[in-house]
Amino acid sequence: MKRYQQYIFATTETQQSEIISGLLSQYSFTGVEETENSLTVFFEEKEGNDEAMEQIAEITGAVLTRSMMDDQNWNSLWESNFEPVRVDDFVSIRADFHPPTEGVETEIVITPKMSFGTGHHATTWSMISLMRSIGFTGKKVFDFGTGTGILAILANKMGAASVTAIDNDSWSINNARENFERNNSSGITLILADEVPGKVFDIILANINKNVILAQLTALRKSMAVGGTLLISGLLCEDEEDIVKAANSQGLQVKDKLIRANWLCLKLSDI
């Protein structure tokens, strides 16, 4: 049975959580959960994580608690704590055991497993919010790092002609596939991969982190259609200068941005 490492950072102020989140962005964690007084991150079991998380705790002054969780127990715990997410009157994200949400344009029903991107994190919330301002009807869409598949599902529901979604984590791929089926989202191509495919898309969604976005920005730019849109997040506010500079060098400029809990989301297109 697959096992997971759980690290709970006990925090006393918002700034601590923000710094921890920023430091975690360089690691390939499987899931993260934030509360008012803690931040919990999950990794597939492997050596080296203890030392890395201890270093983050030392830097931030947070109290760190470690434990191991079996696959089955982990999902049960996550499901029991899962609450519906609402992005204004635009989108609601709930599990099938929750009642339908009233007063929203679009409802997405997911199986609440620990893939990143359930809508609880500020970056996913912001991506969804800015997607509202983009016309998806008849467009070719690429979701880079799909996680639970929520953004791909939303693009599909907003009328995209096709959606290509990739992730480099097999757990996320399986969870995304299950969520696609649950939402009757046909027209989505799901691929286990970590590189941008050599195709052209009208809209690219990338909710990852600063390092990956900077490393893949040239490839993402080459995959953008003329007049296309690149929507990115997984960025802290202090990342903005570096990201904008790199985007400008690729002939892209910021058309819109959203900040939520010190996390930044940018909408980019041709200069």
81 pLDDT exceeds 70? Answer: no
% of the chain at pLDDT higher than 90: 58
Q: What crossing angle do the helices spanning 210-222 and 240-249 adopt, rounded to 10°?
A: 20
Residue 114 and residue 95: Cα distance in Å, rounded? 13
Q: Phi/psi zone of residue 42: left (φ > 0), alpha (ψ -120 to 50 degrees), beta?
A: beta
Q: How confident is the model at residue 22 (pLDDT cuts 50, 70, 90)?
A: confident
C-alpha triplet 57, 59, 64: angle, nearest 5°: 10
pLDDT of residue 25: 73
Whether the per-residue pLDDT at 229 is higher than 80: the answer is yes
Name which residue leads in pLDDT, 139 or 17.
Answer: 139
User: According to the model, what pLDDT value does residue 168 have?
Assistant: 86
pLDDT per position as a tens digit, 135-193: 999 999 999 999 889 999 999 999 999 999 999 878 788 889 999 999 999 889 999 99
pLDDT score of 211: 87
Q: Residue 250 — φ and ψ, nearest 5°?
A: -100, 10
pLDDT band at residue 227 under the 50/70/90 scheme? very high
pLDDT, position 115: 54
CA distance 102 to 4: 36
Query: How confident is the model over 236-250, as a mean pLDDT?
Result: 94
pLDDT at 21 exceeding the cut of 60: yes
pLDDT of residue 80: 65
> What percent of the chain lies above the pLDDT cut of 70?
91
Average pLDDT rounded to a whole number, residues 232-238:
90
Q: Is 176 exposed, middle or buried (0-12, 13-18, 19+ CB in 10 A)?
A: buried
What would the pLDDT profile of 54-66 be if each residue is shown by its tens digit? Answer: 999 999 999 999 9
**pLDDT value at 87 more than 90:** yes
Average model confidence (pLDDT) across the chain: 89
pLDDT of residue 13: 76
* pLDDT class of 86 with cuts at 50, 70, 90: very high
Q: Return the bridge partners of 250, or none.
A: none
Residue 233 clears pLDDT 60, i.e. is over it = yes
* Residue pLDDT, tens place only, 95-128: 888 889 999 999 999 876 655 556 667 889 999 9
Lowest average pLDDT, out of 42-51, 68-77, 253-262, goes to 68-77
Of the pLDDT bands very low, low, confident and very high (cuts 50, 70, 90), residue 2 is confident
- pLDDT value of position 16: 81
